Structure 1
Amino acid sequence: MDRWAGGLSRCEGETGLGQSLACRPDPRLSAHVLGYAGSHYSGARTVVRRIAPIDGIKLIIDFENLDRRMLAANGAGAHREPPSPVVGLRTGPLVFEQTGTDHGMVVGLTPLGAHALLGLPLRELPAYAGFAELLGPRAARLVDELAHAPTWSARFALLDRRLLGWLDPDRRLASPVQAAWDLLNATHGRLTVAGLADRVGWSRSHFEARFRTQIGITPKAVARIARFHHALRLLCRPDPPRAAEIASVCGYADQPHLNREFRAFTGCSPTRFLSLPDQET
């Protein structure tokens, strides 16, 4: 499973029998699309799903009529959410209760991809919104086409065709903002905001303002997410390093700092999160 999907969504409850698979996009979409995933778990079921922040935008495409209710991170409260949600950049977990047959797809988009494919300024993209609410009829048509495609291969190919058709090459991020985003992910968030501003040739205040306008969250927040991803990948290894070693390698002050950040991003401890079944959608 690609880094944007694997390990970042966990289920509490019976996951049922089914299948999940992933696919890379057409190379022409590589700067815009992190990857595709599909899943089909038979039988109606109720699960509580925790989605940690990813380094991009997550489009969840529902083929079945799911009852999805957003919860607080501690599991309290509930309100119904729209189908086929778009999950934006954020610094906290999403926790929701889902009832029904889990059959659908996930598309991971980079900030550039969300801008060039969906035409959405990230500063205006909420943490969680309905796909049809954001894009109207073309979103509904795409969901319907994907649901009725005969095979997963046909669905992945259809996504390539439709997204290539939606791509607007004139919609770009400012080059220094794109460079800073790439540096933060390449270094696992180990660069300071001042260091990033110096590298891209802007003053710190101008850099922070432009970055937040185009990405929707601050460079410091992106660095925290990148460090979390690095720590999670190490924790998910078959023979992971000790937690104190992971904290040191990933740039945390100590193990308690790692634990606090993990809880901030997932709503639970590392041990609890990793004990839950891994889900892609």
Structure 2
Amino acid sequence: MAGFRDRGTSTEGHRAIPHPSVTVVVEFGAGPLIVDDPTGRQRRGSLVAGLGFGAVRVRGEHFAAVQVRLSPVLVPAVLGVSPADLDGAVAPLDDLWGPPLARLREQLAAASTWAERFALTDAVLARCSRGGTSVDPEVTWAWRRILASHGRVRVDSLAAAVGWSRRRLWSRFHAQIGLPPKRAATLVRFDHAAHRLAAGVPTARVAADSGYADQSHLHRDVLAFTGVTPATVAREPWLAVDDVAWPGHAARHRPPGRGIRH
């Protein structure tokens, strides 16, 4: 969870880097939050972005927002849809949350601190949770294994570990997580590499440590996910709110795992 505020100092916006989660953004500022997605469509206000969304630009003047990253295995319970229904796209959050979203926006605007806003958002997430899950335990295990390995795991080994055929794992994983397992592993590996780049690790070292064949392989993956080079991704301010990229950054001012971006 992270808080963002724009004080009207820039209208160019920032590139949002694809992340292995479903991203929920609740906007509550004086000005609109505007998102330009890779297809050229423009979204305004609160939104939800599917797993592995393409590189988008976020802009606006005098907006404020709380961003929540949800594990895809929790999305059916919290949002009431499958990650596959989102299909990696950016959609209005109003369509999923309705009246509770309007009330949350009012509460966020009235709150005086980010800690209070995070607590309000936590409470709404809990109330919206429908309980249970529509994700198979085998799929949940495979997803967590992909995360734990930073994407460096073979689909064949995942299928063998859960006692499924490769085809069945592909079908069930795709339907419930929103990406095929190999694509999900590629996204997780890219995310790990992007945070290493943002932390200042040399590109050659990142490529070797992240399981890429060489720097050219890393370059192609980064370009495919973001539209820019690894050197540009390393400077993207959007990653600066993440404790993985900046361990301990502003730790005195936020709970673990939560950031404030101004």
Number of equivalences: 239
Q: Would the aligned equivalents of 1:91 and 1:225 in 2 still touch at CA under 8 Å? A: no
Q: In angstroms, what is the RMSD of aligned CA positions?
A: 2.0
Q: Structure 1's 39 and 141: CA in aligned 2 closer, same or farther, altered over 3 A?
A: same
Q: Could you tell me which of 150, 158, 177 is aligned with 1:196? A: 158
SS of residue matched to 2:133: coil
1:277 to 237, 245, 248: 237
> Equivalent pairs: percent with the same residue?
34
The answer as to 2:7 corresponding to 1:56 is no
Give a deviation string over 1:140-167, Cα, whole Å, max 9, x none.
2222222222322221221222222222
Match of 1:92 in 2: 54
* Cα displacement string for residues 214-273 of structure 1 (whole angstroms, at most 9, x for unaligned residues): 0111111110111112212222234x2x42232122111111010010111111001122
The 3-state SS of whatever aligns with 2:44 is: coil
Aligned-partner Cα distance in 1 for 2:131–2:160: 28
Identify the structure with the greater strand proportion.
1
2:71 to 91, 110, 125: 110
Quote the offset at 1:139 in angstroms. 2.1
Which runs of 5 or more structure 1 residues have no equivalent in the other structure?
Answer: 1-35
Partner of residue 32, structure 2: 66
Please give the per-residue CA displacement for 1:150-199, whole angstroms capped at 9, x wherever unaligned: 32222122122222222222224100000000000000111111111111
Contact kept? 1:53, 1:92, Cα under 8 Å: yes
TM-score of the aligned structures, taking structure 1 as reference length: 0.78
For 1:231 and 1:247, the matched residues in 2 are separated by 7
> Per-residue deviation at 1:44?
5.8
Deviations 1:18-66 (A, max 9, x none): xxxxxxxxxxxxxxxxxx1112232363123212211111111111232
Report the 3-state secondary structure (helix = DSSP H, G, I; strand = E; otherwise coil) of the residue aligned with 1:226: helix
1:259 paired to 2:259: no
Letter in structure 1 aligned against 2:26 = I
Assess if the C-alpha contact under 8 Å between 2:146 and 2:188 holds in 1: yes
- Please, which of 127, 137, 149 is the counterpart of residue 187 of structure 1? 149
Using structure 2 for the length normalisation, give the TM-score: 0.83
